[in-house]
Amino acid sequence: MPTDRADAPNVVWATNFQFDSTVDGKAVKIASMLDEHTRLSLTKQHGAVMIDPSHQAQLGVSN
């Protein structure tokens, strides 16, 4: 996948998924999304975050 430079907002987004558990064994799943240019993060508890599909951006995911 080609890598674009994050020279403006909404060009390159990075995602990260983390899995953990509480001391009583309940699963905790954390998904974060970060704009590589502004370094701002989209966050919302217990729900979905929607991105306007009219913006052409690159979404980077690494293992």
Q: How confident is the model at residue 22 (pLDDT cuts 50, 70, 90)?
A: very high
> Cα 10 vs. chain centroid, distance in angstroms?
12
Give the per-residue pLDDT at 19: 93
Q: Evaluate whether 16 touches 2 at the Cβ level (below 8 Å).
A: no
Average pLDDT over residues 15-29: 90
28-44 b/e (C-beta count within 10 Å ≥ 16 → b): eeeeeebbbeeeeeeee
Q: How confident is the model at residue 25 (pLDDT cuts 50, 70, 90)?
A: very high
Which position has the higher pLDDT, 36 or 51?
Answer: 36
Which position has the higher pLDDT, 20 or 13?
Answer: 20
